[in-house]
């Protein structure tokens, strides 16, 4: 009968150790899994190589045309005068003075017949 008691005690110790070992293993596995999950989340949600913030470039800016010479320029760089946009202060003044753009004097023609040599 004493052998049976020892066997029962040994079985109890064995089961206790085994359950404790299994719990420790589960803890380790859970910790490893949580670590992997956190790493995956950091890769997916964080600033990964595929996460490209889209900056506001000048090309995406609203473009307006100069009311005097019809030159297109970003709205932030245009000069606004009473619902009109101008590329420069001079054109705003010329437009206000009523000077048409076609008669504006050009200092140099792009295709002059005479070719001065310098």
Q: Which residues bind Zn ion (CB under 5 A)?
A: 66, 68-69, 71, 87, 91
Cα–Cα distance between 23 and 28 in angstroms, integer? 9
**Nearer to Zn ion (CB atom), residue 55 or residue 105:** 105
Least distance to Zn ion from the beta carbon of 76, Å?
A: 16
The half-sphere exposure of 12 on its side-chain side, counting CA atoms within 13 A, is 6
Least distance in Å: CB of 90 to Zn ion? 8
Strands (DSSP E) contained in 18-89 are 63-65, 72-74, 79-81, 84-86
| Residue nearest to Zn ion according to CB distances in the complex | 66
- Cβ pair 74, 87 in contact under 8 A: no
CB of 47 to Zn ion, least distance (A): 42
- Shorter beta-carbon distance to Zn ion: residue 64 or 68: 68
If the CB atoms of residues 10 and 99 are measured against Zn ion, the closer one turns out to be 99
Nearest to Zn ion of 64, 87 (CB atom): 87
* Gap between the Cα atoms of 18 and 31, Å rounded: 20
Token pair 């110790």 is found at 13
């Amino acid at each position: 009968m004493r052998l049976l008691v020892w066997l029962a005690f040994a079985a109890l110790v064995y089961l206790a150790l085994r359950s404790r070992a299994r719990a420790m293993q589960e803890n380790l596995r859970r910790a490893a899994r949580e670590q992997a999950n956190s790493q995956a989340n950091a890769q997916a949600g964080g600033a990964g190589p595929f996460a490209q913030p889209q900056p506001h470039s000048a090309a995406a800016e609203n473009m307006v045309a100069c009311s005097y010479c019809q030159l297109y320029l970003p709205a932030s760089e245009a000069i606004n005068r009473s619902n009109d946009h101008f590329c420069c202060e001079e054109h705003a003044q010329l437009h206000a003075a009523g000077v048409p753009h076609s008669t504006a004097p050009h200092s140099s023609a792009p295709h002059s017949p005479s070719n001065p040599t310098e």
